[in-house]
Amino acid sequence: QGELVDKFKRIFARRGRSIILAYDHGIEHGPSDFLENPDSADPAYIVKLAKEAGFDGLVLQRGLAEKYYDGSVPLIVKLNGKTNLYTGEPLSVANCTVEEAVSLGASAVGYTIYAGSGYEWKMFEEVARIKKDALRFDIPLVIWSYPRGGKVKDETAPEIVAYAARIALEVGADAMKIKYTGDPKTFSWAVKVAGKVPVLMSGGPKTKTEVEFLKQVEGVIEAGALGIAVGRNVWQRRDALKFAQLLGKLVYEGRKVEELAGEVQ
């Protein structure tokens, strides 16, 4: 009854809430995501950043974990991935098994489901195998739940995000990453229907201003989420360390953006 949820929280939310550093953009979007801060192209830079800024966890694909992970921050190995060059029905398949993720040092595994896709069923089939393995290896399963294709018109519409949250719960997630709906009220419905499964908000593209992203994070926490999984909004900024500290104040300490006005650009 949710022991792996507890395990996830013990490892990735030691301070009660969680800020995860996401870095699977190399396969999902390609290296153009790294142009804004060329240092970010180097996985070693990211691993160091995760440690120095005190992130609760780090998300890597198997190839990066194999060649760069040093054990300094709890690791989530993202098991599947696709490129954005692919234009077929949304489908992301595993390029790593749970067993291999464990041997790479993972404390959790991640898997994306594109519900609504014409290949929805392939991802449901695969997540079932992964869930089974995750139970066998006693490792939490984090689901990236991003409805796409089919009837999905707007990926951040409240009813779509809530549906995303529920899908993750129903198929056996121990934590989930979903998109932000835009306001705490609608996001809190997603958090509610996620039930016992903790919710991480997916950071998304770098916002124009710092305050814009911080406001989102504030809303996410207000809505009752466990925290955030953030990538570009941290490592596309050259002052990533300082920005990470701001995030901590909102997430761990529950402070409000307006309280931090002096510290925000």
In the bound state with a second copy, the residue whose beta carbon lies nearer, of 54 and 149, is 149
> Which of 164, 250 has the CB closer to a second copy?
164
Return the residues of window 165-204 that contact a second copy according to CB under 8 A.
165-173, 189, 192-193, 195-197
Residue with token string 């990211």: 46
Using CB under 8 A as the binding criterion, the count of chain residues that bind a second copy stands at 76
- Per-residue DSSP letter, 95: S
Measured CA distances, 199 to 17, 141, 238 (Å): 10, 13, 28
What are 17's two structure tokens? 């809430």
Near a second copy in 2-21, by CB under 8 A: 2, 5
Q: Are 105 and 75 in contact (CB under 8 A)?
A: yes
Of the listed pieces 109-117, 225-233, 238-246, 257-265, which binds a second copy according to CB under 8 A?
109-117
Name which of 214, 256, 206, 259 is nearest 19 in CA terms: 214
The residues in 119-138 that bind a second copy, with binding defined as CB under 8 A, are: 120-121, 124-125, 127-128, 131-132, 135
Please, which residue, 111 or 243, has the CB nearer to a second copy?
Answer: 111
Spell out a b/e string for 67-83, using b for 16 or more CB atoms within 10 Å of the CB, else e: ebbeeebbbbbbbbbbe
CA 35/CA 32 separation, integer angstroms: 5
In eight-state DSSP terms, residue 33 is: G
Q: Looking at beta carbons only, is 67 or 242 nearer to a second copy?
A: 67
Nearer to a second copy among residue 173 and residue 250 (C-beta):
173
Q: Where are the beta strands (DSSP E) in the chain?
A: 18-22, 57-61, 75-78, 80-81, 93-94, 106-113, 141-145, 175-178, 199-202, 227-230
Region of 143-151, 210-218, 240-248, 249-257 interacting with a second copy (CB under 8 A): 143-151
**Interface of this chain with a second copy, residues 37 to 96, rule: CB under 8 A:** 38, 41-44, 61-64, 66-69, 81-88, 91-96
Please tell me whether residue 22 binds a second copy under the rule CB under 8 A: no
Catalytic residue at 163? no
Choosing from 9, 78, 131, 177, the catalytic residue is: 177
Question: Interaction with a second copy in 201-260: which residues (CB under 8 A)?
Answer: none
Q: Which two tokens stand for residue 74?
A: 């709890």
Is 177 among the residues known to form the active site? yes
DSSP bridge pairs for 108? 76
Choose one: 163-171, 215-223, 226-234, 250-258; the region binding a second copy (CB under 8 A): 163-171
- Residues with a catalytic annotation lie at 146, 177
